[in-house]
Structure 1
């Protein structure tokens, strides 16, 4: 016991003294200049000679300390970026404790790879396959948040990009409102491009719909007053899809289907094309069950 405590006291006394020793710092590069993308450096570790207390030096032997290298101080010659030792040495010294002294650094110059980049804001388009359950439809548009992101990269990579898409998402048999998180698709060819967001949130409302058929008279327009026209049939079915509450308020008079005399000006035709000229709002879809009718013209 006496020997153990004697050795411990001796060790503490010795470690309390200052020593000069070689150790390594891990480098972290910070403050990348605006308009550039950090691509790496020639050195990620720095071998230095320090004068410090024994306890501090002992700690470095177990785990490398980390120091930051400010890229805002980098110099540029042509396309090469570098930081001379006299510049980054001051940065390292500012990060040392007052009880430590930097004696020497092995590396003369740090060379840094930086790539000139531009930024642009582009919309996000969902790549979604929606399969609705029977009698259910999307109630309004699918919402995407955020609906646009900023991409940053070399001009040769992003100049032609006007939109980014999500990964493919399949939603089967939907019969209720949904909210899904989906990743943005990142092309393997955009190796140096960065995205301000990596995923988006898709939401949509799902509503139960019903169908109803309305028998609507066919109106003739722009025909000369001396010509009588009859269509066969004289009425056409209009198929509507909407919420049941909305369908209950509709009547055939809310729709107008016409045939226009202008179709006959360029020559005779066996059939006249139908046009749905008026329809109420708030419907999911409206469809004519036939698109043309036969006709007979009689002069008065």
Structure 2
């Protein structure tokens, strides 16, 4: 009987303890809410982050600049400033002006940009200092083409026709003029593919390891589209024209036409005609020891990959 009585007493005590703990936690939670809901005035240090810096400018001391904000707001807002170092953005292009050999940000010019970064429940009382000075170095800026480094083997009957598109096709390099003046292009890393028979896209990193550490390239990679098409071979018979013949000279030549083979995409095959090509022989190249001229293809459409003349000699006779 005494054991049962003891057990009941322990249960009652345990329940009282649990009720006490619950009320204690609730009271503590209410106290915290009350404290966080109240407004406080305090000063906090903000790291300055410069935005919209012109490409040719390098700010040498931007990491050392801070602004001290004295603000009034509730405890909920203050909490986020205790968990991480806050930062404030300054628009370099629109809010910073040149002052002698330095560049200066002033509170009078930049206040609206600062104030817009805070919520309506934050009252900014003071900002110190009211002026920030930046030391700036001017670099040269140069735009150079990107050369995709491709090692692609196409399946038989497939190829590309001026259809390798690089985006962007050129990038800005920034640095001392003496270092970037001799840079004419930037290559991508190598892309290798075998038996390609359909269009594909790849993202390729630029090869930047060999560049001097003082050279900045903001674009690190480019997109390359390879528009692979089905190809076929066509043939045409083209007239030959002899140019630069003196007025008092008559030239008879044979053959007066030559055969040409060309390689193009199926899409363009039926669009190609004789009028797209010009074959000439230049009479200025003749000499008395030879009885033939060499035909040259001087005009061809961009819609063909390659072209080849079957005949390499045009025989001629001069009659005064």
If the length of structure 2 is used for normalisation, what is the TM-score?
0.58
1:182 aligns with 2:204: yes
Distance 1:172 1:288, change over 3 A: same
SS in structure 1 at match of 2:289? coil
More strand by proportion, 1 or 2? 1
CA contact (8 A) 1:16 1:54 kept: yes
CA distance in 2, matches of 1:208, 1:89: 64
- Closer/same/farther in 2, CA of residues 91 and 158 from structure 1, 3 Å limit: same
Superposed CA RMSD in Å reads 5.5
Deviations 1:52-73 (A, max 9, x none): 4444334422234442234333
Partner of residue 208, structure 1: 231
Alpha carbons of structure 1 residues 191 and 202: separation in structure 2 relative to 1, 3 Å: farther
Task: Establish whether residue 74 from structure 1 lines up as the match of residue 96 from structure 2.
Answer: yes
Q: How many residues align?
A: 290
For residues 227 and 22 of structure 1, the distance between their equivalents in structure 2, rounded to whole angstroms, comes to: 98
C-alpha deviations, 1:158-185, integer Å up to 9, x for none?
5555555444333433333444443445
Is the CA contact 1:17–1:54 (under 8 Å) kept in the aligned structure 2?
A: yes
Contact 1:41–1:111 (Cα < 8 Å) also in 2: no
Secondary structure, aligned partner of 2:105 = strand
Structure 2 residues without counterparts, runs of 5 or longer? 1-19
Structure 1's unaligned 5+ residue stretches are: none
**1:240 offset after TM fit, Å?**
5.3
Deviation by residue 1:119-158 (Cα, 9 ceiling, x = unmatched)? 66555443333433334443x3124254644626357155
Q: In 1, are the aligned partners of 2:148 and 2:187 still within 8 Å (CA)? A: yes
Matches of 1:130 and 1:264, distance apart in 2: 43
| Residue correspondence of structure 1 range 120-159 to structure 2 within 5 A | 123-138=145-160, 140-146=161-167, 148-149=169-170, 151=172, 153-154=174-175, 156=177
Between Structure 1 and Structure 2, which shows a larger proportion of helix residues?
2
Partner of 1:41: 62
Structure 1 residues 278-293: aligned runs within 5 Å: 284-288=305-309, 291=312
Deviation at 1:192, TM superposition (A): 4.7
Residue 28 of structure 1 corresponds to 49
> Could you tell me the TM-score, scaled by structure 1's length?
0.61
